[in-house]
Amino acid sequence: MTNGEESGNRGEVSRRAFVRVALATLGGMCLAPDWITIAQAAHEAHSATAAAGDASFLTSAELADVDAMTAQIIPSDGTPGAREAGVAKFIDRALATFLSRMGAEFRTQLEAFRRAFAARHPNVASFSALPFDQQTEFLRTVERTPFFQTMRMLTVFGMFSTPSYGGNRNNVGWQLLGFEDRHIFQPPFGYYDRDYPGFSITGAPSA
């Protein structure tokens, strides 16, 4: 199945769910049905965002190191992590397109990272070639650098931005959080407001 089909199917399911909830919710609010269409448009606007396509900024060796770092930042330890979300490819595309303003600085810092790695591990081809636990150990020595902070930020972008940017594949980022991609809700929103009796100015401390 191609990515396009995946997002089409997911979009269809999500659209039907959205309209169902929208009708129930907005019906109760006595609103004109126009608002359903409008709210739905905001919810789905990201599917119209032009996909960044195959644009690429990193060399394959750089991409492999970036991929290994994203898998350290959000590991695939039992549940999907950055790798399943397609974060490395997201970063590669982002730096070539919508985050190109960060590209030059990123490359300078990545090269410095690779040099530092080579100095520490002269007999290992690259960071990505190192076993996972040793990668973790090396990253601990650079975790406070601006480069690692940038890597962390880009990994988060790729994990949790809307899937239209190429990351957060199959919504795995949102599933990790328990975030429902629905964008229209009604109370109760969570466990604690289910039986809330209402605000009272003289309310005694509740148990």
Partner 1 sequence: MTIARFKTSEQVDFAIVGSGAAGGVMARELSRGGFSVVLFEQGPRLTPTEFEHDELKYWYLGGITNDPEKNPQTFRSDPTQKAQRTIVKPALWYARTVGGSSLHYTANNWRFHEVDFDERSRLGAIPGTGFEDWPIRYADLEPYYTKVEWEIGVSGLAGANPFDPPRTKPYPMPPLPTKSSGVLFERGARKLGLHPFPAPLAINSQPYRGRPACIHCGFCHGFACEVTAKASTLTTMIPEAEATGRCEVRSESYVVQVEMDKRGRATGVRYFDRDNREQRQRARAVILCANGAETPRLLLMSANEMFPHGLANSSGLVGKYLMFNYTGRASGVFEHELNEYKSVQTSRVVHDFYDSDPKRGFYGGGGIDARIGPQPMVWAQRIGEEGPSWGSEYKARLAEFSRTTGIYAHGTSLPVETNNVTLDPELKDAWGMPAIRVTYRDHPDDLANATFLRDRGAEILEAAGALRVTKAPVVPSTLAVHLLGTCRMGNDPAKSVIDRYHRSHDVPNLFLCDGSSLVTSGRGQPTMTIQALAFRAAEHIANFARRGEITTPPRSA
Q: Which amino acid is at 79?
A: T
Q: Token match 């330890």: residue?
A: 77
CB atoms within 10 A of CB 14: 19
Which of these segments, 3-11, 53-61, 118-126, 180-188, binds partner 1 (CB under 8 A)?
Answer: 180-188
Region 67-126 residues binding partner 1, contact defined as CB under 8 A: 72-75, 77, 79, 81, 98-99, 101-102, 105
d(CA 8, CA 4): 6
**Closest distance to partner 1 from the beta carbon of 190 (Å):** 3
Residue labelled with tokens 């991609």: 181
Structure-token pair, residue 141: 């020595």
75-84 in b/e form (b: 16+ CB < 10 A) is eeeeebbbbb
Among 57, 127, 138, 165, binds partner 1 (CB under 8 A): 165
Instruction: Point out which residues bind partner 1 (CB under 8 A).
Output: 22, 25-26, 29-32, 35, 37-39, 41-43, 45-46, 49, 72-75, 77, 79, 81, 98-99, 101-102, 105, 136, 139, 143, 152-153, 156-157, 159-162, 164-165, 173-174, 176-180, 183-193, 196, 198-199, 201, 203-206
